[in-house]
Structure 1
Amino acid sequence: MTKPQIILLGAPGSGKGTQAAKIVELGYNHVSTGDLLRAEIKKASALGKKIQDLIGNGQLVDDQTVLDLLQANINLAKGEYIFDGFPRTEVQATMLDKQIIKKAKAVAIYLDVSLDELVSRIVNRRTCGGCNEIYNLINKPPKKEGVCDLCGKGLVHRKDDNKETVQNRMDVFKEQIDPILAYYEAKGMLKKVDASINPGTTFKQIRKIVES
């Protein structure tokens, strides 16, 4: 049975990174547009130099450039992919469909978490300054306060992980995500999973979708 290509959608704090890592265990390739942009710049290719110039001039990388980058790095005929970080707009969703997904089997999975839960997760988030391991004071606290379990370095609380800033980020996210969800729902591609529970149970829902 052919597994579907996965467009993974979710707000900051919804657990996208955790779920993407678990989906990879099912044989998927994880495609993060942010990682691809950085890698292309590092390669110093013609496309990488174009991206570097855009970023250096304080401009956003245009949609078509991101699509070109995706096309250069994936082959749907040879494997299954998780699209993470793209699309961010309905226009991007349409472009992804027409230029890359085309007639391939695909599903858009949305990690559904309430606003209150997302705010709580992010406000209580702590990141290791050494290995970047992520903790949460409520549901994944370190064994020793302020110290990473893995490498022993200190944990950092990002300045923008405060309630007011997080609320603003969520407002912006909602404006962006609603048209995307409506787009995929209209195409019969949207599957929502409850991501307010523990990551293992959330993944069971995703696995059921992928293998059905």
Structure 2
Amino acid sequence: MTSAGVGGHATPKAYLDDQFTYSRTVDGGGTRGMRVIDSACVGNRVWYAAAEIVEDGEPQYVIALVCLVRWNPKARDRYVFAYKEMEESMGPCEAGCPARILRLLSPTANEHALDWRRRCLVRLRLHARKIEDGMRLRFPRPMAFGDGHSGTDFIVVKKGESVTFRSDVGRSRYRITGFRDLAWVVVPETRVHRTVFTTSPLSANAA
């Protein structure tokens, strides 16, 4: 849609929050609708929301909504925004939902929704791992690069929010896209302690 189609909303999040908050009259009387309780548009690429189902003005339960987002406010053809909507029971591939939204969802027995929630929790745990400069990480499979290097062990080089990796056998620096989603482990540093010899009382007397 064009900027006019976005209806004056400045961001994809604002538009989708409004789009999925509504109430409609159903056949036979009464109303049914939805209300977005909380949402996040991660990287302006994926919108995640906790949406409350409302019937006749009464809250019923809360589900997760997921929208793939394409947002380009400088598009030459003026089509700045597009989205594809899903809900958790469809088992979306995208599983980067923030924890605060997951906590708002109602219990469910739907296997696709449960699988999606599990994948989100696994990703949250992976992303919660602490990264420090100088750490040695071991990846589950060899990482190959354009300079011909391939290996599983790399040293973290962290400067502020920037994270790159150094080979454990050289000085080359590498970027590993999506490394937080991979099942790496920290290789403990082996420390060699200096041996201290002390003089025994017998030796001192003998001298």
Q: TM-score, normalised by structure 2?
A: 0.27
Which structure is higher in strand share? 2
Structure of higher CA gyration radius: 2
Q: Which has the higher contact order (CA 8 A, sep 6+)?
A: 1
